[in-house]
Amino acid sequence: MIKAKKFKYPPLTEVAFEIKFDPKLRIFDKLSDFQELIASKLPQIGEEHLFPFSSNMPLEDSTRNLKKRVVFEDSANKKLLRLSVDGFNFIEKSYESFAKYQKEIATLWKDFSDIMGNLSLNRIGLRYINHLKIPYTDELKDMEKYIKPYYSMERLNKEKVKSISIESRILRDDYILTIRSGIISEDTTDKGKHKVYLLDYDCYLDNPKLIKNVSVLINKYHDVIEKQFLSDLEIKYLKYMERGEFN
């Protein structure tokens, strides 16, 4: 087993924590009180409206069902909190450490739930999105020097593959781990041409009615995701995360 540690060049681009609960209209009525508590950390405020349009839904119905979300953001646009009548979603784009992120989650959620009162939880999840830059070659299977893909590189080796995506949903004990992976783009930097490989982990529990301590659950999710991430990498990429160079 590879021992987890803090890497100097991690590929992590975004971390998200989400809680879904039964819809409560009082959420928006009490947001001004919550805003006062977080104003120093997330001073910017805005709104988003989701448009749930599909080919099977009449336009007038989709307009009627527009979903409103209030968004709180820090001045650097690196931290984002989205709130709706049925959801709490905190996104961090400048992740420093799990301990710091967990503390922020615990504080925000406690302040929110104290003001909003009893909420019936439906989902608690933690998501880590990684964009790995892999040295470009014409041989697709060469990527296997760095990662352990969830599909056969050999079958596509001679193809000019622009992108690949695959999603796996794995039931483990009382939680679900969704893994999204694949080649999402090509990129050129001062260090050369790369393929960008996605490793997106979403660990969650549906219907967590009996959960008392959210922090304990999030700590468990973090350990699950970290273990899976390390097992999906070859030694060459682990060394890159330490040194910042492929050699």
Q: Is residue 16 part of a domain?
A: no
Say whether both 141 and 202 belong to one domain: yes
Among residues 129, 132, 146, the alpha carbon closest in space to that of 196 is found at 132
Q: Is residue 17 part of a domain?
A: no
CA dihedral angle for residue 48, residue 52, residue 58, residue 63, rounded to 10 degrees? -20
**Other beta carbons within 10 Å of 61:** 12
Q: Is residue 227 part of a domain?
A: yes
Q: What angle do CA 96, 202, 109 make, to 5 degrees?
A: 60
Among residues 11, 4, 42, 6, the alpha carbon closest in space to that of 195 is found at 11
> What per-residue confidence (pLDDT) applies to 62?
43
> What per-residue confidence (pLDDT) applies to 3?
44
DSSP H helices in 117-150: none
Question: 0.75 exceeded by the pTM?
Answer: yes
Say whether both 113 and 134 belong to one domain: no
Total domain count, the chain: 2
Say whether both 114 and 151 belong to one domain: no
Rounded distance between C-alpha atoms, residue 220 and residue 225, angstroms = 9
Instruction: List per-block mean pLDDT (blocks of 10 residues) for the chain, which spans 247 residues.
Output: 67 96 93 96 91 52 67 96 96 92 93 92 94 88 92 78 90 92 87 91 82 81 96 96 87
- Rounded to 5 degrees, what are φ and ψ at 173? 55, -115
Boundaries of domain holding 72: 23-119
